[in-house]
Amino acid sequence: MNDRESLGSYLKRERESRNISLKEVAKKIRVREQLLRALEEDRYDLLPPHPYLKGFLYNYAKVVGLDPHEVTLRYENATQVKPTSPQEVPSQRKPQKEAERKPPKEPDKEPEKKPEKKPKKKVVWSPRQFWIIGGVVVLSVILSLLFFFPSPKPPVEPVSPKPGVSIKPDKPEAKKTLPPPAPPQASVTTRVPETSPVLETPPASETTPVPETKPLSLKLKGVEETWVRIQVDDQPEREMTFKPGDVTSHQATTRIHLLVGNAGGLDVTLNGKLIEKFGKSGEVVTVIVTPQGVETKPSEKTTPAKEE
∠301-307-308 over CA atoms, to 5°? 135
Exposed / middle / buried, residue 261 (Cβ in 10 Å: 0-12, 13-18, 19+)? buried
Please, are residues 224 and 264 in contact by the beta-carbon 8 Å criterion? yes
Q: What is the mean pLDDT of residues 2-24?
A: 81
**Phi/psi zone of residue 30: left (φ > 0), alpha (ψ -120 to 50 degrees), beta?**
left
Q: Tell whether the model's pLDDT for residue 36 goes beyond 90.
A: no
Give me the pLDDT at residue 284, please. 93
| Cα 225 from Cα 243, distance rounded (Å) | 4
Q: What is the mean pLDDT of residues 268-282?
A: 89
Query: Considering the chain, what is the average pLDDT of its residues?
Result: 72
Exposed e or buried b for every residue in 215-252, given b needs 16+ CB within 10 A?
ebebbbbbbeebbbbbbbeeeeeeeeebeeeeeeebeb
Element (H, E) at 260: strand 256-260
**Least reliable range by pLDDT among 18-27, 189-198, 223-232, 278-287:** 189-198
Give me the pLDDT at residue 258, please. 92
The larger pLDDT score, comparing residue 124 to residue 130, is at: 130
- The pLDDT confidence band at residue 88, using thresholds 50, 70 and 90, is very low
3-state secondary structure of 184: coil
Q: Which of 287, 300, 298 minimizes the C-alpha distance to 190?
A: 287
**Least reliable range by pLDDT among 136-145, 199-208, 221-230:** 199-208
Among 17-21, 98-102, 182-186, which range has the highest average pLDDT?
Answer: 17-21
Give me the pLDDT at residue 213, please. 59
Residue 31: CA count within 13 A, CB half-sphere: 22
With the CA atoms of 238, 241, 242 and 243 taken in that order, what torsion angle do they form, in degrees rounded to the nearest 10? -160
Among 127-136, 167-176, 192-201, 294-303, which range has the highest average pLDDT?
Answer: 127-136
Share of the chain above pLDDT 90, in %: 19
Residue pLDDT, tens place only, 218-227: 999 999 999 9
| Cα 200 from Cα 210, distance rounded (Å) | 15
| Cα 138 from Cα 144, distance rounded (Å) | 10
Domains and CATH numbers, the chain: 7-80 (1.10.260.40), 214-298 (2.60.40)
Residue pLDDT, tens place only, 103-128: 445 545 555 556 566 656 666 677 78
The larger pLDDT score, comparing residue 61 to residue 204, is at: 61
Q: Which of 132, 92, 133 minimizes the C-alpha distance to 111?
A: 92
pTM of the model: 0.32
> In whole angstroms, how far apart are CA 289 and each of 144, 225, 278, 294?
88, 22, 11, 5
Strand partners, 293: 290
The DSSP code sequence of 124-172 is: ---HHHHHHHHHHHHHHHHHHHHHHSPPPPPPPPPPPPPTT--PPPPPP
Q: Which of 202, 169, 33, 125 minimizes the C-alpha distance to 15?
A: 33
| Cα 116 from Cα 173, distance rounded (Å) | 113
Cα radius of gyration (the chain): 64
Exposed / middle / buried, residue 121 (Cβ in 10 Å: 0-12, 13-18, 19+)? exposed
